[in-house]
Structure 1
Amino acid sequence: MTNTNYTELSKEYWETPLKFKKPPLLAYAGQVEGNPNWNFPSHKHDDLSEIIYICKGEGSFIINNKSYTAKEGDILVYNAGIIHEEYSNPANPLVTFFCGISNLAIDQLKELCIIPYEVEPVIRKNEYSSSIKSFFTQIFEESSLKAAGYEIICQGLLTSSIALIHRLLKQQNITSETEESNTIAHRIKEFIDKNYKKNIKLEDIAEALFINKYYLSHVFKEQMKISPINYLINRRMGEAKNLLVSTELKIGEIARIMGYDNPNYFTLLFKKMTGETPKQFKENHKKKLFYHKNP
């Protein structure tokens, strides 16, 4: 699944185990069998939702005014009320199973919603695709034969299919959260690296990046194993060390370059971080450095 901003979804949905307030009932089951000219113009279902499993081939789908291409192993999910249209690729015709679902209510979602509206409706081929294909094959066979008890069997298979879809969504959400946190942490680091010489505070970073300062601090520390402010201080002290041993700048000048208006505070902070005053550090480390002088 792509381009899904999982953080827009309610925390309750991701943290709550899947619970059916109303179990799904099979409204219909069908199959598209490789017709190169098959298409279904724009339509919607207000009283049911729908799942399509692509067994073979490829097709184009317009779902809620957004275009998708889907192929073997992909799953399409239409919540009730979603406008959609479907076109088989003539060069590689679609073979699909599809099911209409009524009576569905899932905790944390609107009635007749299989997935949250914010989630992309095309679920790409994944580790559960073969299981869902097997379920849909059985649903089609059971609904065709209509032997005794087929409704209960189909309900169980539909429930299992939806449960696997939700398992996948929640697994992908964990990955997505990690990736997003990584991205945010690196944006924070990049901002600090560019602006460490300025007199910046946590609030300045949060305002510049449009991130809540508490969330910013939490994400950065989780990913970088250091708080943003301590990273800022370390960054300044590292550059200060470099200036102390490679230039003849006075300590007060170096303090100002590093964003500190008060040289005494800079000295105290430097000693706290390094165990030496700036003067001691300069003297001790200059003894160990040898520069090559060009003739």
Structure 2
Amino acid sequence: MSYWEKANHSWSQDSIRYINTPSEKSKELFYYVQEIGYFKASRPYFTERENLPSFLMKFTHSGKGCLAYKNQKYILEAGDIFFIDCMDYQHYQTISEEPWEMYWVHFYGGNSELFYQEFMKNGSNVFHSNTANLENPIHLILRQLLHVQENRHAQTDFQSSVLLHQLLNELLIQKNQLDFTYEEIPDYVLAMKAFIDRQFKESLSMEQLEKQFHINKYQLNREFSRFIGQPPINYQINKKISFAKDLLRYSDQSIQEIALELGWDNFAYFSRLFKKKTGLTPGVYRKIG
């Protein structure tokens, strides 16, 4: 299907918009900006389109907008952020009496698609940032991206790619509420991590961890995943695989002995799991390690 778009361009004279045509090298190497801007858009501003090979991220600074996307409608207020794939039908518009003030960027390239898939794991294209607008890292990155487009030179595409990658990381951090300090990690999560670090060679289950820490296993799994980055059992398995790598490279133990030391008496299972995690069998890893 071909690209189409309808729009009303009721934005203020002090709005900013840059349209870029990246070089073939930039498209091959980088995340790249297609269009970027800062708008104060009054009613009846709207955009309706489909089949545009682009990702769009929009940060609402003030006023209100409405996004219709994938059979959902979202009301967008200050601090709300949306991230969409513009190949799918979309319609967004100003709905407040005052202008809808927003920063936005169309971009493509790099691992944009994978970041989008990760962003969409909870099924929502929109989230609200709890960080004050002027201090929000997403807001600051967008302003930096705008600034580097003003006077383009040989470094601009490099700088834009770095900033877009930072932006995508920050989107995941804020949406998944990962913007915490080490001091904010609950003591029981740190204690559980230390316990697994000590006992990783043993057989562990969520039921055992529940009894050990006297906290519901579902809460343990959820909070450990949030603060450590993966579920407890996955964390333990990855610790085992990392230890196996060390032994394969720097010891004379046989592969069977390594599997037994890590609590796996099924050598075939160990080999399959090792290959799944590393892409190599233990024997091949030992040869090239």
The TM-score with structure 2 as length reference comes to 0.48
Q: Specify which structure has the bigger relative contact order, considering alpha-carbon pairs within 8 angstroms and separated by 6 or more residues.
A: 1
- Structure (1 or 2) with the larger CA radius of gyration: 1
The TM-score with structure 1 as length reference comes to 0.47
